[in-house]
Amino acid sequence: MTPRHTILLTGGLGYIGSHTAVALVEAGYRAVILDDLSNSERSVFDAICQICGDEHLEFIEGDVTDAACLKTVFEAHDFFGVIHFAAKKSVAESEADPLSYLHTNLSGLVELLRAMDTAGVYNLVFSSSATVYGDQEVFPIPETATRHAVNTYGYTKVASEEMLERVGTADDRWSFGVLRYFNPIGAHGSGLIGENPKGIPANLLPYIDRVATGELPELVVYGDDYDTPDGTGVRDYIHVMDLAEGHVQSLDAIDATGQGHVVNIGTGQGYSVLEVIKAYEAVSDIEIPFRIAPRRAGDVAVYCADASLARDVLGFQAKRDLFEMCRTNWAWTQKMAEAKTA
């Protein structure tokens, strides 16, 4: 089958990019992945090909901040658009080494926009984040909420959104699909791709994975005295395949209307830390030991998306529930553990 369009995925071997590559190929697109492997492995490309065939997939090792590399990539392909995942994403690291975050996340975006402009490619879907809302107290959060960076990583996302607005205002050929992700978890149902953070995970599900496999002794739950049904923090978790399919819908909407959009991508429904632990125990049949510690500074009780605009503008609605998120995470974790001992 001839692909509908060819899409460049910067950072496409990472957690969200790899799942989106699968969703794109399954929706009839051709995906060209550009990744410098700074936070991923070449083997992820083989796994993507194993899931959806290699006919409509290509991998190029390269750095999005490298103008010469981008020039070569754009000259060799006829892209309909780009999905820009390539970025550094650790809040703690962004505080310790802000310059490298400004370089990769902001200079990388500028170089990409320049290369797109030169090549006459004006459709971009951008990986933004709920972090642009900072420490909001009102939930669910609508897209109209004030942007407010509370760390350097968050600053790069706020600044990127502002840059896109300025570029779009100056030249109406651009269409930007800005997707503000909430908390992606889970893995592809095949168990072949998933999240594989280096070092001690900063996020809840990868941490639980390591407790389930015995690599970490217990989970620490920060605060059980929040104003939530069971006292623990509530977050808007979204299955990574739902999020991946949201990118396809974003491109489809740009293709159909020529218009951009700025939308939250979440389920609109929150789950507490204890609910996540229970669901994980149910699907894995493993008890997850945990202890309660005092609240962490800066954490809020509830952080959930108002998901109605993505539904209205893109027709986006998350389909997979918390059990499916935990089931697929556990299946992926088991495959990784098997591979380590093989």
Ligand X SMILES: NC(=O)c1ccc[n+]([C@@H]2O[C@H](COP(=O)([O-])OP(=O)(O)OC[C@H]3O[C@@H](n4cnc5c(N)ncnc54)[C@H](O)[C@@H]3O)[C@@H](O)[C@H]2O)c1
**Which residues are known to be catalytic?**
153
Q: Quick one: which of 17, 140, 191, 260 contacts ligand X (CB under 6 A)?
A: 17
104 binds ligand X, rule: CB under 6 A? yes
Nearest-approach distance from CB 18 to ligand X, in angstroms: 8
Which residue of this chain has its Cβ atom nearest to ligand X in the complex? 14
266 binds ligand X, rule: CB under 6 A? no
Stretch that binds ligand X, among 57-65, 220-228, 229-237, 261-269 (CB under 6 A): 57-65
108 binds ligand X, rule: CB under 6 A? yes
246 binds ligand X, rule: CB under 6 A? no
88: which residues sit within 8 A by CB, 6+ positions away? 39, 94, 100, 101, 104, 105, 153
Provide the terminal-to-terminal Cα distance of the chain, rounded to the nearest Å.
Answer: 38
Q: 21 vs 212, which CB is nearer to ligand X?
A: 21
State the SS3 of the chain: CCCCCEEEEECCCCHHHHHHHHHHHHCCCEEEEEECCCCCCCHHHHHHHHHHCCCCEEEEECCCCCHHHHHHHHHHCCCCEEEECCCCCCHHHHHHCHHHHHHHHHHHHHHHHHHHHHHCCCEEEEEEEHHHHCCCCCCCECCCCCCCCCCHHHHHHHHHHHHHHHHHHHCCCCEEEEEEECEEECCCCCCCCCCCCCCCCCCHHHHHHHHHCCCCCCEEEECCCCCCCCCCCEECEEEHHHHHHHHHHHHHHHHHHCCCEEEEECCCCCEEHHHHHHHHHHHHCCCCCEEEECCCCCCCCEECECCHHHHHHHCCCCCCCHHHHHHHHHHHHHHHHHHHHC
Q: 39 vs 123, which CB is nearer to ligand X?
A: 39
β 30-35/6-10 pair status: parallel
Stretch that binds ligand X, among 83-91, 214-222, 298-306, 319-327 (CB under 6 A): 83-91
CA-based nearest residue to 206, from 330, 337, 341, 40: 330
Stretch that binds ligand X, among 34-42, 164-172, 205-213, 245-253 (CB under 6 A): 34-42
127 binds ligand X, rule: CB under 6 A? yes
Q: Quick one: which of 7, 8, 35, 241 contacts ligand X (CB under 6 A)?
A: 35
158 binds ligand X, rule: CB under 6 A? no
85 binds ligand X, rule: CB under 6 A? yes
63 binds ligand X, rule: CB under 6 A? yes
129 binds ligand X, rule: CB under 6 A? yes
Nearest-approach distance from CB 191 to ligand X, in angstroms: 17
Nearest-approach distance from CB 287 to ligand X, in angstroms: 26
- C-alpha angle 319/320/325, rounded to 5°? 160
184 binds ligand X, rule: CB under 6 A? yes
Nearest-approach distance from CB 94 to ligand X, in angstroms: 10
37 binds ligand X, rule: CB under 6 A? yes
Q: Quick one: which of 9, 24, 31, 40 contacts ligand X (CB under 6 A)?
A: 40
Looking at residue 165, its amino acid is E
Nearest-approach distance from CB 282 to ligand X, in angstroms: 23
176 binds ligand X, rule: CB under 6 A? no
Nearest-approach distance from CB 150 to ligand X, in angstroms: 14
Total residues contacting ligand X (rule CB under 6 A)? 27
Q: Quick one: which of 22, 25, 48, 89 contacts ligand X (CB under 6 A)?
A: 89
Residue ranges in contact with ligand X by CB under 6 A: 10-11, 13-17, 34-40, 63-65, 85-87, 89, 104, 108, 127, 129, 181, 184
